[in-house]
Amino acid sequence: MTKAYVHGYDLQENIRLQDQANTLIDLLHSDTAYPAGSLVLEAGCGVGAQTLTLARNSPGASIVSMDISAASILQAEEKIRAAGLTNVRFQQGDLYSLPFAEAPFDHVFVCFVLEHLNDPGLALQRLKACLRPGGTMTVIEGDHGSAFFYPDSRAAHAAISCQVELQSRAGGNARIGRSLYPLLVTAGFSEVRVSPRMVYADSSRPEIVDGFTKRTFTAMIEGVRQSAIEEGIIDPATFDRGIQALYRTTEPDGTFCYTFFKAVGKT
């Protein structure tokens, strides 16, 4: 996998991930539901931010949620127990060396995972081997190159580029959303379809301004400040101006836009 999860594993990141998941439920997950009796693998579940919605949308399916981090799995298990959900079990494992017999799953779900991998194509091939004939692969990823906003700001773009560069140095790709179609096709999936899911925020949508622009995207960029400065990617003053500019987009006359990509393919 990557050298490190560039966003970190602290409590603030856990909160950010849950804010992101809660804000984007309808946009990203309204059309993901699996039939009763299906066996579903959620690959790279992290702290369970997406697991809650996945399990609620498919109450009759059996879900195996896997992650490489034992600590993250513990947090995910706590979320599922607190929600009273009983259709999920957790397992620790590596996407490049999956701990399953060949082709036990009807569906695989991957959300905000490929961006952190140094070889997402290989991971998709390994996951495809876990799918029964006729099974589906669903992948959701963002693309930091899709962020635009008003008022525009060079410093804000520079701050965003810091996160992109740090993720690249860690072996990942913060702009992977645009690559989902070729990645799935090259991995051998058929009938691949990709749909862009745009988040747009202005003062007429205060819940999106707060949940996404402030608590998800800007919080994520703000979280890499120390690493970006220590690695010489940017100077402190420019980074801080960039963060101020991102928060400026949340004022009454500001706007913010970002695109996620959702891909579905079949075996």
In this predicted structure, what is the pLDDT of residue 103? 85
Report the C-alpha gap between 177 and 213 in whole angstroms: 19
Task: Encode pLDDT of 253-262 as tens digits.
Answer: 999 999 999 9
Backbone phi, then psi, for 218, in 5-degree steps? -65, -35
d(CA 48, CA 44): 9
**75 found inside a domain:** yes
Residue 1 predicted with pLDDT over 50? no
Q: What was the pLDDT predicted at 93? A: 95
Residue 3 lies in a domain: no
Answer whether residue 32 is part of any domain: yes
Domains identified in the chain, total number: 1
Q: Is the peptide bond before 35 cis (omega within 30 degrees of 0)?
A: no
For the whole model, what pTM was predicted?
0.90
* Segment 175-231, tens digit of pLDDT: 999 999 999 999 999 999 999 999 999 999 999 999 999 999 999 999 999 999 999
Query: Would you call 101 exposed, middle or buried from its count of C-beta atoms within 10 A (0-12, 13-18, 19+)?
Result: exposed
Write out pLDDT tens, residues 45-76: 999 999 999 999 999 999 999 999 999 999 99
Is 2 part of any domain? no
pLDDT of 13 over the 70 cut = no
Burial zone of 171 (CB within 10 Å; 0-12 exposed, 13-18 middle, 19+ buried): middle
pLDDT number for residue 102:
82
What is the Cα–Cα distance from 173 to 115, expressed in whole angstroms?
A: 5
Structure-token pair, residue 145: 């190159």
- Could you list the residue range(s) of the whole structural domain that residue 189 is in? 11-266
pLDDT at 10 exceeding the cut of 60 = no
Residue 2 has pLDDT above 50, yes or no: no
CATH code of the domain in which 231 resides: 3.40.50.150
Inside any domain, residue 247:
yes
User: For residue 9, what pLDDT is reported?
Assistant: 53
Q: Is residue 233 part of a domain?
A: yes
